[in-house]
Each structure stands twice: as C-alpha cells, then as structure tokens.
C-alpha cells in the first residue's frame, strides 16, 4: 500500500464531521477520552505542540468501503446531518472527537462523568503563559456554568467578559468578529496580540496526515488498522524516560525492585506493578527537589545528573517509610484505603519532595494538605499547582508570614462560600475529605460496637435520612449530599434500609441497654450532636412530608457547621468569632 503524506486543518475536519463529510469506519472503537484528556489536547493545541499523525482514507461518498459511523455527537448538534463521507479517520478518532466535542458541545457525557461538559479558556492565565490552568471544563449543570447564561440559555457576553472566559465553542465561528465586538477593548495591544496568537493556534492547527489512496481494498485497510492499534499504545513519559535513560539506569527494573521491597508502595500502586504513574511520581518529586520543571515536556530533559540508582533507592525509602507511613495511617489522614479514600494521589509528589528536605514543618504540611483537599485544588491540571505549592511551602517553613495561596484561600472561604451541601459525587475530594474525618474521628458503626477504621472493606456509604424513606414520603430534597451521608457497616446499612431515622435510633438504643449517652456518643463521632439527635428522633414514620423536609434541612445545615468547625482546626483557622 502506498501512503502519501499531507496535512489538514483540524477545524476543517471538525466542520466536515459536523456536515457528515468526515466519518469513521464502523470497526473503530468508541470515543473513550475523559474531560481531562480533552483538556490536555486543547492545551497542546494552544501551544502548537505536535499531537500525532492522523491516518485518513479518501473514499467515494456514494460507495465507502465500510459501514460508516459519525464522530461522537455530530447528529445531535446538526439537525440537518447527512452522511456523505469523502474521508474516513482510521487513526486519530479520539483527538478529532475531543476537538469536535469542545467546539460543538453535544449533549453527551464523557468517560467517568454523567453530565455533558463545556470547555473554556481562562484569558488571565493565557496572558501569564500558564497553559496548565488556561484550559478547564465545567458540567453544564454546574452553578458557575449556569451563571454564564442568559434567560434564553445563551452565553451572556457581559458575564463572560467580567469572568475573562472564552468558551471553546466560539472558535468554530468567526472568532475575529467576536473578538473585536466583545473582548478587544478589555486588553492592551500587547496582551490582545498574545491572546489572539494562542487562539489562532487552536483555530488554524494543521495535523499531519498519512493518506490511504482512493480505491484501496477494504481488507488491506482493516489489516493496517489492526496493526496500528495493536502497537499504537500511547507511551507515558515514564516509558519515554525509561527508553532514554537505559544506558545508565533501568528505570523499570528499579521500579519493580521498589515495588517488591516496600509494602506501602505496593498499597499505593494498588498492587499493580504495571502502573507507571507511581514511579513517575518518584521522578517528579526528584525534579521538584532539584528545582526542575515537572511539566511533561520538561521531564524528558532529566538525565544522569538528577537521577541514579542511589537517588532512586533513597527516594523509594523516604516514600515508603516517611510519606506513606503517615498517609496510610487512618488516625493521621483518615485514608487507609488508597483507592477509596485518598482525595488526590498527586499530592504525594509534593509530600515526597518535602520529606527529601531536611527542613520541614509537619503542621504546615498538614494545613496545606487539608486546604488543598477542601478547595478541590487538584480537580483539574496539577503540574503547575504542585510546583507552586511546593515552592510556597518551602518559603513558609522559613517565614511564618509567607502562607501558601491555597491555605489563605481555604481560610478565607471556610465560613463564607465553602459548603458541603453541593457535594454528592463519591470521587470528589471534599466528599472523600469528609469521610476521611470519620476515620480520624474514630467513628463506629451504628449497630455493631466496632470502629470503622478496622472494617474499611465492608463499609457502605449510608444516607442518614435513608433515601428510600424520603422517596416513600415524597420528600424532595437532595438526599445524596455528603451532609446526609456517613459510613457504616454494610450489614447495618441493610438493616436500616427504608426505616425512619426515629426507628433506627430506637433500635440503637435497644442495642445499648436504652442508654442514651452511648448512642449520642456513637453519633457524635459521625458529626451528629445532641441537637441533631433530637432532630432525627423527630423524623418518624408518621411525620408529614413537610415535617420531614424541615427536619432534613435543619439537620444538614447543623452538620455542615460541625464539619466546618473540624476543618477549621485542620487548616489552622484562627478567627474564634465565626460560626459557633
């Protein structure tokens, strides 16, 4: 097969996908990229970085060699969609589908999320050349996203200007016209030119292509595609470093030795020796300690001056005995089970780099840790934030007045805008952080006299006002919020099931010889005080819908206050006059 080289406009490919002129052969796999993957692609486009070659096949629209399928979402966004393919994407689907998704905003979800997401460029970060934070995404159900819309559901341009945001969907239109009409006057000539240059990278990006000629036999193309996908596993930076450093250090071999030798490291890697993210964390921590950039493109510059067998061994030892010994201690951070309860794995990179230093302050590290968890600091891109936090912590160790930005932020918002009542996704860092507090608080099961931290593999995420009870009563509240959730044993959760809170509290009393002090002591560890105990007792099977709604709202409001007070201690909050 004779392939020819060429290039094509990525935007033109997306527009043709919208029209039905660019499609996929039906043996392509589904669109599987996450919103983080989409963000990373957009960052690469902003910087005009190479995103790989596309393999494309020119076909006759009336007689394509395969059954064709659309780019994800094309039919949803184009009511006049008509399949007339003259080009099939054999390799490059995930990249083109991600670009199309960001520009055309189909009402479909990405991998690992249930809602559609919309992508934005933060102009302030763009001006600062901070590409890691210049691209982000919000669910179209998120309150901050909804605040950008007018009554007709269209973007409110005045709000976008105030927030300094550009939706990626604007780039499929004539952005020059949008820029001059709405944005240009807000920025200096120099900043405007910088912004336009970055945006033009996304709009005018050309992908390199290998073109399969018209009329090629379908069986030949299918074999080619199979070979590409059999060998085309995306290489990680660790893989690339392993290949580059092999002359003086076998990184994979060193990682496998560390994995076999250290039990805590095996736990952190979830028992998977093939997981190269963990050894990559080692290298990023070494880079931070050495004052190097940990961005992917810069990590490839690491050489024998920065890493060798001795440094690797020392790093693995510190990670196992100093960092993970603390991180896996349920009394210290309430984690225990890495897979379930660790809010952000990459935070271990900063901790490892800090513990490689002789000068460190454990209390300040903890203030930073909990501030990052409850501000959801690492929900998006992480590399620039990890670097910033590491540098700011080192300064804080030397000077008490140089408090890191994230700690200042958390202390400022704790009693102003911070809330746990909009957190209901189990993967959210705030959600996990609240459950971490239960382990640290020595919480016990409601029915069985056993601490949760000794039974983390047999725990259920329990609705304190049981979901089925609320549903049966027709109560319309957000019962999934973490303020109405706690951890108990799975057997207890099944026994409570649909019961009114008053009913299962009575059973708790009976289990404890009708000693109310024991029951209130158990509940106290779940951030349920005596006032809230009375509220739960008021929610009976005979209570009206209105009475239960009132009890629920009083309960979650009070519980939020108690949890906020505990967080205040964890972040070193000093204002004693706030919420009692």
- pTM for this predicted structure: 0.65
Worst-scoring range by mean pLDDT, 147-151, 172-176, 298-302?
A: 298-302
Worst-scoring range by mean pLDDT, 137-141, 420-424, 571-575?
A: 571-575
Measure the CA–CA gap between 186 and 182, rounded to whole angstroms: 8
* 258-264 long-range Cβ contacts below 8 angstroms, 24+ apart: 258/282, 258/312, 258/316, 258/320, 261/316, 262/316, 262/317, 262/319, 262/320, 263/320, 264/319, 264/320, 264/321, 264/324, 264/325, 264/328
pLDDT in tens, 80-117: 999 999 999 988 999 999 999 999 999 999 988 889 99
Measure the CA–CA gap between 23 and 16, rounded to whole angstroms: 9
Q: How many CB atoms neighbour CB 109 within 10 A? A: 13
The DSSP bridge pattern shows strands 4-9 and 206-212 to be antiparallel
pLDDT in tens, 455-473: 755 888 899 999 999 999 9
- Measured at the CA of 478, the angle between CA 476 and CA 482, to 5 degrees, comes to 155
Measure the CA–CA gap between 32 and 247, rounded to whole angstroms: 36
Would you state the structure tokens that stand for residue 202, as one six-digit string? 């996304």
Q: What is the pLDDT of residue 325?
A: 94
pLDDT at 290 over 70: yes
Mean pLDDT of 208-216: 85
pLDDT in tens, 358-375: 889 999 999 999 999 999
Q: What is the pLDDT of residue 231?
A: 46
Q: What is the pLDDT of residue 338?
A: 87
Would you state the structure tokens that stand for residue 476, as one six-digit string? 């319309």
Residue found by looking up tokens 């158990």 in the block:
522
Measure the CA–CA gap between 203 and 418, rounded to whole angstroms: 37
pLDDT at 439 over 50: yes
**Structure-model confidence comparison of residues 167 and 62, the more confident one:** 167
CB contact set of 408 (below 8 Å; sequence gap of 6+): none
**Structure-model confidence comparison of residues 578 and 26, the more confident one:** 26
Measure the CA–CA gap between 483 and 475, rounded to whole angstroms: 16
Q: What is the pLDDT of residue 301?
A: 78
Q: What is the pLDDT of residue 243?
A: 61
pLDDT at 579 over 50: no
Q: What is the pLDDT of residue 228?
A: 58
Measure the CA–CA gap between 110 and 138, rounded to whole angstroms: 12
Measure the CA–CA gap between 69 and 17, rounded to whole angstroms: 10
Q: What is the pLDDT of residue 256?
A: 94
Q: What is the pLDDT of residue 216?
A: 78
Residue found by looking up tokens 């002090």 in the block:
517
Q: Where are the beta strands (DSSP E) in 221-347?
A: none
pLDDT in tens, 227-267: 555 444 444 678 767 766 767 788 889 999 999 999 999 99
pLDDT over 90 for what percent of the chain? 74
Q: What is the pLDDT of residue 78?
A: 97
pLDDT in tens, 311-340: 999 999 999 999 999 999 999 999 978 888
Q: Do residues 374 and 571 touch, judged by C-beta distance below 8 A? A: yes
C-alpha separations of 319 from 79, 277, 322, 351 in Å: 55, 14, 6, 9
pLDDT at 221 over 50: yes
Mean pLDDT of 197-214: 93
pLDDT at 60 over 70: yes
Mean pLDDT of 293-305: 82
Measure the CA–CA gap between 349 and 288, rounded to whole angstroms: 8
pLDDT in tens, 379-398: 877 889 999 999 999 999 99
Q: Which of 221-235, 451-465, 483-497, 528-542 has the highest mean pLDDT?
A: 528-542
**Structure-model confidence comparison of residues 454 and 506, the more confident one:** 506
pLDDT at 10 over 60: yes
Write down the mean pLDDT value for the chain.
Answer: 91
pLDDT at 450 over 60: yes
- Tell me how many helices (H) and strands (E) the chain has: 31, 11
What is the per-residue burial (b if ≥16 Cβ within 10 Å, else e) of 128-148?
Answer: eeebbbbbbbbbeeeeebeeb
**CA Rg value for the chain:** 27
């Amino acid at each position: 097969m004779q392939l020819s080289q060429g290039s094509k406009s990525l935007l033109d490919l997306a527009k043709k996908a919208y029209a039905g002129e660019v499609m996929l052969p039906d043996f392509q796999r589904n669109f599987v990229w996450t919103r983080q993957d989409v963000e990373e692609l957009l960052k690469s486009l902003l910087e005009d970085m190479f995103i790989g070659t596309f393999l494309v096949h020119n076909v006759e629209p009336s007689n394509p060699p395969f059954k064709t399928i659309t780019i994800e979402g094309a039919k949803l966004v184009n009511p006049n969609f008509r399949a007339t393919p003259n080009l099939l994407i054999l390799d490059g689907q995930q990249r083109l589908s991600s670009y199309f998704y960001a520009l055309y905003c189909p009402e479909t979800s990405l991998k690992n999320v249930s809602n559609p997401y919309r992508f934005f460029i933060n102009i302030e970060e763009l001006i600062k050349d901070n590409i890691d934070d210049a691209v982000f995404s919000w669910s179209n159900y998120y309150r901050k996203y909804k605040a950008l819309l007018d009554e007709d559901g269209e973007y409110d341009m005045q709000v976008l200007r105030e927030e300094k945001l550009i939706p990626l969907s604007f780039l499929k239109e004539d952005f020059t016209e949008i820029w001059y009409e709405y944005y240009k006057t807000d920025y200096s000539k120099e900043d405007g030119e910088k912004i336009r240059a970055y945006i033009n990278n996304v709009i005018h990006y050309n992908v390199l292509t290998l073109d399969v000629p018209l009329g090629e036999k379908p069986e030949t193309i299918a074999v080619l595609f199979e070979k590409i996908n059999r060998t085309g596993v995306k290489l990680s930076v660790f893989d690339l470093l392993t290949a580059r450093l092999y002359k003086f250090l076998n990184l994979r071999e060193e990682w496998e030795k560390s994995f076999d030798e250290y039990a805590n490291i095996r736990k952190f890697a979830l028992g998977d020796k093939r997981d190269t993210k963990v050894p990559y964390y080692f290298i990023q921590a070494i880079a931070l300690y050495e004052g190097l950039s940990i961005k992917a493109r810069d990590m490839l510059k690491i050489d024998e001056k920065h890493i060798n067998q001795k440094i690797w061994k020392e790093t693995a030892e510190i990670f196992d005995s100093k960092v993970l010994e603390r991180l896996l201690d349920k009394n210290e951070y309430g984690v225990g089970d890495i897979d379930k309860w660790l809010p952000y794995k990459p935070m271990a990179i900063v901790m490892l780099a800090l513990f490689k230093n002789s000068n460190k302050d454990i209390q300040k590290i903890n203030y930073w840790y909990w501030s990052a968890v409850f501000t959801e600091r690492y929900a998006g891109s992480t590399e620039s934030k990890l670097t910033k936090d590491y540098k700011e912590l080192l300064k804080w160790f030397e000077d008490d007045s140089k408090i890191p930005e994230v700690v200042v932020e958390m202390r400022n918002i704790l009693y102003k805008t911070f809330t746990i009542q909009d957190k209901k996704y189990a993967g959210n860092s705030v959600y996990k952080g609240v459950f971490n507090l239960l382990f640290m608080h020595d919480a016990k099961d409601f029915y069985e006299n056993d601490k949760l931290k000794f039974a983390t593999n047999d725990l259920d995420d329990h609705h304190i006002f049981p979901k089925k009870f609320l549903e049966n009563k027709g109560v319309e509240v957000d019962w999934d919020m973490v303020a109405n959730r706690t951890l108990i044993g799975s057997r207890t959760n099944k026994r409570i099931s649909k019961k009114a809170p008053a009913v299962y509290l009575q059973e708790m009393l009976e289990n404890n010889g009708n000693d109310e002090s024991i029951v209130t002591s158990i509940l106290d560890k779940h951030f349920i005080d005596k006032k809230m105990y009375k509220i739960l007792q008021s929610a009976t099977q005979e209570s009206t819908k209105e009475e239960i709604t009132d009890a629920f709202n009083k309960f979650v409001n009070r519980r939020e206050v108690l949890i906020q007070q505990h967080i205040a201690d964890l972040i070193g909050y000093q204002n004693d006059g706030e919420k009692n």
